[in-house]
Amino acid sequence: MAGSATKDMTVGSPMKLILGFSVPLLMGFLFQQFYSLVDTVIVGQFLGVDALAAVGSTGSINFMIIGFCMGVCSGFAIPIAHMFGAKDYSGMRRYVANSVWLSVLFAAVMTILVCILCRNILVWMKTPSDIIDRAYEYIFIIFLGIPVTYLYNMLSGMIRSLGDSKTPVIFLVMSAMLNIFLDLFLILVIPMGVAGAAWATVISQGVSGICCLFYMIRKFDILRIQKEEWRADAHLMKNLCNMGVPMGLQYSITAIGSVILQSAVNTLGSMAVASVTAGSKIGMFFCCPFDAMGSTMATYGGQNVGAKKLDRVHQGLKACILLGAVYSVIAFAVLTLFGKNLALLFVDSAETQLLDQVGQFLFANVLFYFPLALVNIVRFMIQGLGFSKFAILAGVCEMVARAMAGFLLVPKFGFIAACYASPLAWILADLFLIPAYYHVMRRLKKMFAS
C-alpha cells in the first residue's frame, strides 16, 4: 500500500489536484523567500547600503551554484515519481537509494571546487573593490553549506514526488523562524556582519533537511529500503543523471547569463547593484507562485506519464496556465501601485535614487510575468514527462538573452537595460518551450502506441 501520506495525482480533477498540491508548495516558497528577504532587510537596515550591495553582488553566482544543486535534486525526484505513478514501489526505493549515493558524491565534489574558486569568480565578475571582501565572506559560507542544500532539496523532492507537498512547508516555516532569530542574534548580538546572515541561512536549511529525514523515516512505509535495494546500480544512476544533470545545468546555464548581466551591473556602481538587489528580492517574493506551479507540474506530469495518461497531462497544463494568467494580473496591479514603497523594507526613505531605481526595475519585470509563468509551467511539465534535456536548451535561450543585455545593452543604455534583461530572457525561452512541449507529447503518444 502507498500509505495515507502520499497523494496519487493520476485520478481526480486536475485543477483541484493542482491547487491542492501547489498551495502548500507556494507557502514553502514564500517562507524560503521570506527568510532570504529577512537576511537582506537586516543587512540593509543594520549594516548599510554597501553591505546590501555586497550580499546582492553574489546573487547570480549563488543562483548558478545553488541552482545547480536544486535542479539536480529535482531531476532525481522525477524517476521516483514515475515509479510511484506506475505502482512499482521496489523500483522506486532503488531509485531513492541511488539518489542518496549520487547526492553525497555531488555535494562533496561541488563544495570543494566552488569554495576554492569563488574569490576568483568574484574578481572576474568585476565586483566593486569596496564590497568584494564582504561579498567573498558571505558567499564562501553559503557554499560551505552545499551539503545541507543537497540534503533538504533531495529529501523534500522525494516527499513531493510521492504527492505530499504540505510536510516540507511545515519544516520550512520552522527553519524560517529559526533563520530570523539567528539573523538578529549573529548580526546584532554577536556582530558577525554579513557572515552572520550567511551562517543563519546555512544552519536553518540544515535543520529543515534533518526534519525531512526524520519524517520520511517515520511516515513512509513504502520507503523502507531493504539491504539489497541499497546496492549502487550503474543503470539507475545513469537514468538519474540523465534527469538530474540537465535540470541542474539548466539552472546553471541560465545563471551564466545572470553572472554576465551582474558583471555589467557591477560596472554601474554600488548604487545600481543595491537597487537590483532590492528589486530582485521583492520580485522573487512575488514570483513564488510561478515556482510553486512549476514544481507542481513536475510531479503531476511525472506521475501521469508513469501511468500513461497523456490526456490528463494536457488538461493539467491548461489548468495551470489559467492560474498563471490570473495571478500575473494580480501581481501587476500590486507591484505597479506599491512596488516602490516595498523598497523601504531595505533602506531609509532618504535613499531616493535607490527607491526610484527599484520601482523602475519592478515595473519592467512585472509587465512580463505571464511569459515568466509559461516558462515555469511548461518547462517543469516537460521535465516531469522525462525530457529534461530540453531544459538545457531553454536555459541556453535565457543565457543568450541576458548575456546580450550584459555585453551590449547595459553598457549602452545603462540601468534601464538591466531592468528589461530578464523579460527578454523569458520571452526567448517561451519561443523554444512551447513548440518543445508539443514535440514531447507527439513523441510520447508514438511511444505509448507502439
Residue 4 lies in a domain: no
CB 370 within 8 A of CB 328: yes
CB 200 within 8 A of CB 194: no
DSSP state of 185: I
Q: What is the pLDDT of residue 2?
A: 46
Q: What is the pLDDT of residue 3?
A: 47
Number of domains into which the chain is organized: 1
The string of pLDDT tens digits covering residues 2-47 is 444 556 677 788 888 888 888 887 877 777 677 666 777 777 777 8
Q: Where are the alpha helices (DSSP H) in 162-233?
A: 167-184, 194-219
CB 320 within 8 A of CB 26: no
Residue 1 lies in a domain: no
Residue 6 lies in a domain: no
Q: What is the pLDDT of residue 328?
A: 95
Q: What is the pLDDT of residue 350?
A: 66
The string of pLDDT tens digits covering residues 148-160 is 999 988 888 888 7
Residue 82 lies in a domain: yes
Query: Whole-angstrom Cα distance, residue 125 to residue 127?
Result: 5
Query: Whole-angstrom Cα distance, residue 446 to residue 384?
Result: 18
Q: What is the pLDDT of residue 141?
A: 92
Q: What is the pLDDT of residue 356?
A: 83
Measured at the alpha carbon of residue 446, what is the angle toward residues 442 and 450, in degrees to the nearest 5?
170
Q: For the residues of 13-31, what is the DSSP string, one character each? A: -HHHHHHHHHHHHHHHHHH
Cell 523598497 -> residue: 343
Residues of the chain with pLDDT under 50: 1-4
Q: For the residues of 33-52, what is the DSSP string, one character each? A: HHHHHHHHHHIIIII-HHHH
Residue 289's Cβ-count burial label (10 Å; 0-12, 13-18, 19+) is buried
Q: What is the pLDDT of residue 49?
A: 76
What CA–CA distances, in Å, run from 168 to 28, 221, 269, 285?
7, 18, 39, 18
Give the Cβ contact number of residue 266 at 10 Å. Answer: 22
What CA–CA distances, in Å, run from 4 to 28, 221, 429?
21, 10, 38
Residue 384 lies in a domain: yes
- Show the domain range for 390: 14-449
Query: Whole-angstrom Cα distance, residue 93 to residue 395?
Result: 31
Query: Whole-angstrom Cα distance, residue 39 to residue 52?
Result: 9
Residue 148 lies in a domain: yes
Residue 214 lies in a domain: yes
- pTM greater than the 0.85 cutoff: no
Looking at 63-217, which runs of residues are DSSP E strands?
none
Query: Whole-angstrom Cα distance, residue 429 to residue 323?
Result: 20
Residue 3 lies in a domain: no
